[in-house]
Amino acid sequence: MSDVRELLTTLRGRYNQTELADALGVATRTLRRWEVGETEPPPYLADAIRQRLLPLADPAASGNCDFQFIDLFAGIGGIRMAFEAHGGRCVFTSEWNAYAQKTYLANFPASAHAMEGDITKVDAADIPDHDVLLAGFPCQPFSIAGVSKKNALGRAHGFADETQGTLFFDVARIIAAKRPAAFLLENVKNLVSHDKGNTFRVIKRVLEEELGYHITCKVVDGAHFVPQHRERILIVGFREKTDFSFADMDFPTHKPTMSDILHPENGSEQPEGHFTTGPKAKVDDRYTLTPKLWAYLQAYAAKHRAAGNGFGFGLVGPDSVSRTLSARYYKDGSEILVSQGPRKRPRRLTPRECARLMGFPDDFVIPVSDTQAYKQFGNSVVMPVMREVARVMKPRVLGLIDPEVARQKSLLVA
């Protein structure tokens, strides 16, 4: 019955317990007993799950794709969406957070059969072959001093000494085992200066010297594509030397401002859930700061101004470019507060506005609470940045996969 329990665990990323019980036509307590092993689920349940709740086939798998990729530390799928836009097909996903899984699977339901939770427990041999590895890996502190396990790949290996215990180690061991044509790694700008530069030196040495990849790095500000200053380090690597350059990225000539992402509140868009209401789709009052919170933020800002510090809230209007949206936005929204007029209290962004601020389309499904949505978008990538990097990477990837196919495609484009 382990197969049934694995399927149930996978589906819990997409459905809560009540939703899943309803879909299977059983009581919630019955489902809970199956999940924790108190009782055995009936043997037919696996087939019922596959027929009713899992996609019968991956639509992308039935058509042609130009290359295959895996999506590690996937979050809500921003990097995946970017690479799918250029003909890639995702063959494996890993994301440990159950709420992020729910959002991911609501938008990419065909991945339910290929979703893993904790990548540290996945054997690299069980991961499908792929052409590109994508990973927005968290930057945990690197221990340079040494680690307990030195033979993670079956032999003494340099990066095992210095990155064991960090999630970068899992990226490195998968690259070592699967040898994809290319990879894209994304992280916070401060990765470069973390631990006086030691962390980044270790990462570069692992990728270049230990794994033998040719890497190019650049800090890119998402403000080229969305009205938000969001600087992130991008690390692109190729198994063989290519002419890849970040200089080939095309940036929009239009400088985006907050007016591009804020709800117009004039009836030109349809009301959505509790974000906007009424015939003019006005932003719901719940997003306006309470008098107490607004007074606190003003006093906090005044205190730090008097001390010569720059701390305080960030007030934006239609012509503004915002500060960086963070995962803590759900707490008070202080980094990005939308002005509602000189005598009115400002408001938070709605989750839909946060999605737009990260470059997600308006049909992106937000199936979680506002708190979880704020965390997810605050941890996400600026999708159009990744889409542009994918565009530049693609011909180089194809050139390594099949040089003749790449040549023919380049002729068609020309």
Residues 174, 164: Cα–Cα separation, whole Å:
13
Residues 234, 192: Cα–Cα separation, whole Å:
11
Q: Is 139 a catalytic residue?
A: yes
**Catalytic: which of 90, 139, 217, 354?**
139
Q: How many CB atoms lie within 10 A of CB 163?
A: 26
- Joined together, the tokens standing for residue 95 give 């994301």
Whose tokens are 């859930």? That residue is 273
Residues 53, 112: Cα–Cα separation, whole Å:
9
Nearest to 284 by CA among 275, 273, 272, 292: 275
Beta bridge partners of 182: 132, 238
- Joined together, the tokens standing for residue 22 give 């309803």
Furthest-apart CA atoms within the chain: distance in Å: 69
Residue 132 half-sphere exposure toward CB, CA atoms < 13 A: 32
Residues 80, 52: Cα–Cα separation, whole Å:
25
DSSP letter, residue 228: B
Residues 36, 107: Cα–Cα separation, whole Å:
28
- Joined together, the tokens standing for residue 203 give 């990462």
Q: Position 198: which residue type?
A: N
Report DSSP letters for 99-163, one per residue: HHHHHHHHH-GGGGGGEES-GGGS-GGGSPP-SEEEE----PPP--S--S---TTSS--HHHHHH
Nearest to 80 by CA among 353, 373, 360, 325: 360
Q: Is the dihedral of CA 103, 36, 6, 125 positive or negative?
A: positive
Residue 267 half-sphere exposure toward CB, CA atoms < 13 A: 2
The distance of Cα 164 from the centroid of its chain, to the nearest Å, equals 23
CA dihedral 17, 128, 149, 209 (to 10 degrees): -130
Residue 225 half-sphere exposure toward CB, CA atoms < 13 A: 22
DSSP letter, residue 288: B
Strands 282-283 and 276-277 come out as antiparallel
Q: Which residues are catalytic, by number?
A: 139
